[in-house]
């Protein structure tokens, strides 16, 4: 058996110490119970009990100090181990092939189309191409290049994923106030469980992996339709992962006032559980006529197919983050509030006015502040119709005072409930900022068929969210593609598919507040119900 590492020895020592502390507490508690039940105790007995109590308290204080010191050493050892792992991963992944340029690049996409060449693998289409042999040779070079790059990419993604999850956990624990009883440090074990189901084994080979420049475009440019997803903490998903599991304390320890000298002290055993998220598949496809592949310039094929599929993919990711049902292959999304035991703010009114909505937003932030005890990176999210109703509201009892509730920067603000940052009218993303700090974002995927009670379907209301988005973790893998021809050969079409694996979890449900109620009914203009948003 290999020698134990320092970190393993420290963790084992900590476990032994915790067992010792628990045993001592149980023994002392039994002695206290027995003594407190006595009615014949003499002064000598009480003196001996007090001496024993002092000895226990001194020993218990020393053991707690030893535990704190061990926690500090474990934290340092975890950092060192993570540093060594990152350095090892970097040494494997930082070296790239530089002797020759990649086959498919952004600077040659006009002449060389990845998707057109991919179609050359279809027998019926290859015979119609001017030079199918050259296309196959390019694909083979691409596959050879990725046979070198893909293992490095996978290793780098796994190293990034572990480092990101560890950093997120450290930040999560560090967001609690000192003295809250949350130990600083990262994850004690790898949260990514590998797949055992052979039906979900990742595809191998370079033919069906998009060129790097297309992946870069997906990451940096084609991000429409995923405001909620982008607000979440973004983490890499390593290849082969089936489930993500993060530890969580479910029942905390407790302290209390000792009612009298020698009286029993508060004792409550802690229990732990885990927050888990299954890895799900999101896929899209595009059926393309052979005539388009043959006749269109190369870059049009790549842009139309890849961008169209990625836009659909991004929209689906956003909807999953918001509304995933945790059934039928879906992730567990933010809504409804019961999904992650979020805070609920019920805004019940018969005359919903803009300034009142500002107070509902404040109530949502307040709920998070005293349930999560941190408002760092807390922002609001709502449907566009709710923001533009808010943004065009006027103050006064029925909107008659004539002063705008939301003003633009540079023109006030005067008595404004929110400020629009300017720079054009948004259709999604950042829309404004409320006076007490948080930004407001709009997202067309927020439901407008919710009920006043907060169900996401069955009504005509919308919902608004306040969330500390750092605590909402979205894991995404690397995009994959493939091409199919036989199913559409009778109509001279080829089917291109794109798919990816995602997972989503909320580290702490109290980080979310959901505004529901009659005030969130389909908004109309104050004093003129004929105007709907």
CB 388 within 8 A of CB 432: no
Which tokens belong to 142?
A: 């691409």
**Secondary structure (H, E, C), 370-395:** HHHCCCCCEEEEECHHHHHHHHCCEC
- Interatomic CA distance for residues 71 and 74, integer angstroms: 5
Q: Which of 8-12, 405-409, 444-448 has the highest mean pLDDT?
A: 444-448
Q: Rounded to the nearest 5 degrees, what angle is found at the Cα of 318, between the Cα atoms of 317 and 323? A: 100
The predicted pLDDT at position 102 comes to 83
H or E stretch at 305: helix 298-323
Instruction: Please tell me whether the peptide bond between 245 and the residue prior to it is cis, using omega within 30 degrees of 0.
Output: no
DSSP letter at 95?
A: -
| Selection from 519, 524, 521 nearest residue 346 by Cα | 519
- Interatomic CA distance for residues 521 and 419, integer angstroms: 23
pTM of the model: 0.71
**Secondary structure (H, E, C), 40-59:** CCCHHHHHHHHHHHHHHHHH
pLDDT band at 452 (very low <50, low <70, confident <90, very high): very high
User: Distance of CA 379 to CAs 188, 225, 344, Å?
Assistant: 30, 18, 16
- Of 178-182, 461-465, 498-502, the one with minimum mean pLDDT is 178-182
DSSP codes, 439-468 = EEEE-TTS-SSB-TTS-SSSSSB--EEEEE
The predicted pLDDT at position 32 comes to 87
Q: What is the pLDDT of residues 58-74, one digit of tens each?
A: 888 888 888 777 877 77
Q: Give the mean pLDDT of the chain.
A: 80
Q: Which 3 state secondary structure label does DSSP give 150?
A: helix
| Selection from 496, 478, 481 nearest residue 158 by Cα | 478
- Interatomic CA distance for residues 506 and 470, integer angstroms: 9
pLDDT band at 166 (very low <50, low <70, confident <90, very high): confident
Q: Rounded to the nearest 5 degrees, what angle is found at the Cα of 399, between the Cα atoms of 403 and 361? A: 85
pLDDT at 480 over 80: yes
pLDDT at 365 over 70: yes
Q: What is the pLDDT of residues 290-336, one digit of tens each?
A: 777 767 665 566 777 778 888 889 999 999 999 999 999 999 999 99
Domain boundaries, the chain: 6-85, 105-176+190-250+266-318+483-501, 337-473+511-532
The C-alpha torsion from 334 through 335 and 339 to 341, rounded to 10°, is 80
The predicted pLDDT at position 96 comes to 45
- Interatomic CA distance for residues 417 and 436, integer angstroms: 9
Taken in order 67, 68, 73, 74, the sign of the CA dihedral is positive
pLDDT at 352 over 50: yes
The predicted pLDDT at position 141 comes to 86
Q: Which residue has the higher pLDDT, 412 or 451?
A: 451
Q: What is the pLDDT of residues 373-397, one digit of tens each?
A: 888 889 999 999 999 999 888 776 6
pLDDT at 445 over 50: yes
Q: What is the pLDDT of residues 76-101, one digit of tens each?
A: 777 677 666 655 555 544 444 445 78
Q: Which residue has the higher pLDDT, 272 or 522?
A: 522
pLDDT band at 202 (very low <50, low <70, confident <90, very high): very low
The predicted pLDDT at position 123 comes to 65
pLDDT at 157 over 90: no
């Amino acid at each position: 058996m290999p020698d134990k590492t320092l970190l393993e020895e420290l963790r084992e020592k900590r476990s032994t110490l915790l067992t010792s502390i628990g045993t001592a507490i149980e023994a002392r508690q039994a002695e206290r119970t027995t003594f407190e039940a006595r009615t014949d105790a003499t002064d000598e007995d009480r003196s001996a009990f007090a001496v024993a109590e002092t000895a226990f308290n001194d020993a218990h204080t020393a053991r707690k100090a030893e535990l704190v010191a061990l926690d500090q050493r474990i934290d340092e050892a975890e950092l060192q181990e993570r540093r060594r792992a990152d350095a090892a991963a970097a040494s494997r992944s930082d070296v790239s092939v530089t002797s020759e340029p990649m086959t498919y690049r952004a600077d040659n996409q006009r002449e060389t189309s990845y998707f057109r060449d991919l179609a050359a693998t279809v027998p019926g289409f290859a015979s119609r191409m001017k030079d199918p042999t050259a296309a196959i040779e390019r694909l083979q070079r691409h596959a050879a290049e990725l046979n070198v790059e893909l293992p490095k990419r996978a290793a780098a993604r796994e190293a990034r994923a572990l480092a990101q999850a560890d950093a997120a956990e450290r930040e999560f624990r560090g967001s609690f106030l000192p003295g809250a009883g949350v130990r600083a440090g990262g994850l004690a074990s790898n949260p990514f469980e590998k797949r055992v189901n052979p039906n979900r084994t990742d595809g191998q080979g370079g033919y069906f992996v998009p060129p790097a420049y297309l992946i870069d475009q997906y990451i940096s440019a084609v991000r429409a339709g995923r405001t909620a997803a982008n607000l979440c903490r973004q983490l890499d998903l390593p290849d082969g992962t089936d489930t993500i599991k993060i530890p969580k304390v479910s029942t905390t320890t407790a302290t209390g006032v000792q009612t009298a000298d020698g009286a029993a002290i508060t004792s409550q055993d802690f229990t732990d559980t885990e927050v888990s998220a299954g890895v799900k598949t999101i896929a899209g496809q595009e059926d393309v006529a052979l005539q388009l592949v043959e006749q269109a310039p190369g870059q049009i094929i790549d842009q139309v197919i890849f961008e169209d599929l990625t836009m659909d993919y991004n929209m689906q990711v956003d909807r999953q983050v918001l509304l995933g049902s945790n059934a039928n292959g879906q992730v567990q999304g933010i809504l409804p509030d019961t999904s992650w035991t979020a805070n609920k703010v019920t805004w019940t009114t018969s005359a919903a006015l803009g300034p009142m909505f500002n107070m509902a937003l404040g109530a949502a932030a307040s709920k998070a502040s005293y349930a999560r005890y941190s408002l760092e990176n807390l922002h609001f999210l709502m449907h566009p119709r709710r923001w533009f109703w808010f943004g065009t509201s006027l103050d006064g009892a029925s909107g008659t005072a004539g002063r705008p509730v939301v003003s633009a920067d540079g023109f006030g603000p005067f008595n404004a409930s929110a400020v629009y940052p300017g720079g054009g009218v948004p259709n999604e993303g950042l829309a404004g900022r409320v006076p007490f700090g948080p930004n407001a974002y709009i997202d067309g995927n927020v439901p407008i068929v919710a009920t006043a009670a907060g169900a996401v379907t069955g009504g005509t209301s919308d919902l608004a969210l306040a969330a500390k988005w750092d605590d909402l973790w979205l894991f995404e893998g690397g995009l994959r593609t493939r091409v199919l021809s036989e199913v559409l050969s009778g109509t001279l079409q080829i089917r291109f598919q794109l798919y990816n694996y995602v997972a989503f979890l909320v580290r702490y449900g109290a980080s979310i507040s959901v505004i529901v109620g009659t005030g969130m009914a389909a908004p109309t203009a104050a004093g003129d119900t004929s105007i709907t948003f």
